[in-house]
Structures are given as structure tokens and as C-alpha cells.
Amino acid sequence: MTIQGYAIDFIPSGRLENLSDEQIVEFIFERVEKEHVLILENPLTPSLRLELTAQGLVRFSKTFIGIKMQFINIRTEVGGLFRGKTKDSTLLVIAPGNAQIDHSEHGDVSVKFPVAQSIEA
């Protein structure tokens, strides 16, 4: 059985650390072209983000409408001996170009996609 549609992939920091920049770009595009939403534990370097944007323009076609990237800042409470401390983290969400990525001040993240509407004859 094959399930089609969007998927969400969480990519831990260690998954990309031994790949070259070209391999990272290809890894991301292979998944996004299959309608996967990627959540990267560690954001990419500015040069890699620029390369993704450039490759998105090059690969643009009727079947691939590009990629969208959005940073998500998260503040978590870390327990301490006498009082809790906060830790700030940044995730990077990468999605197909037709996605709408929203996040609230409370840390909720929402990725929405347009619904194809059929035209009745």
C-alpha cells in the first residue's frame, strides 16, 4: 500500500553533519520534491540557505514550485536545582513552495497547503 500526500520529517542535528554542502542540498530537494516538510534541529548556514533558494529557482517547473523556509524560535524551560532556566533554540522548517508556515508567540507551528478543488462539468 502506498500512501500519498504530505509528510513531516524531523531531521536531527547529527543527520547532516557528515554531508557536503552539495549532498545537503540534494538531500533536502529529494524530500521536498516528494512533498515532505522538513524540520531541521539545527538551521543551515547562510550560504546553504542561499544555495537552496538558487536551486529552487533553477528547478522550478510545472511539477515543482520551489521551496519555502522559515525559522522557528523556541524557548524551553530547563530544570535547575533552585529554579528553572530557559534555553532558546531555533528550528528551520523547509516546505514545498505552496506551503504557508505560521507560528504563534506560544510556539505552536502550523504548516498549511492549498486544497485542489475539482471543477464539475
Instruction: Read off the pLDDT of residues 22-42 as tens digits, 9 standing for 90 and up.
Output: 999 999 999 999 889 999 998
Q: Say what the pLDDT of residue 88 is.
A: 82
For residue 104, give its domain range.
7-112
CATH number for 17:
3.30.110
Is there a domain that residue 37 lies in? yes
Nearest-CA neighbor of 56 among 16, 24, 96? 96
Q: Is 12 helix (H, G, I), strand (E, B) or coil?
A: coil
Is there a domain that residue 75 lies in? yes
Q: Is the pTM of this model over 0.85?
A: no
Is there a domain that residue 120 lies in? no
Whole-angstrom distance, CA of residue 102 vs CA of residue 108? 8
- The count of domains in the chain is 1
Is there a domain that residue 63 lies in? yes
Is there a domain that residue 1 lies in? no
Helix axes of 21-32 and 46-59: crossing angle, nearest 10 degrees: 50
The tens digit of pLDDT for each residue in 55-99 reads: 988 988 888 888 999 988 877 777 766 677 787 888 899 998 888
**Which DSSP symbol is given to 95?**
E
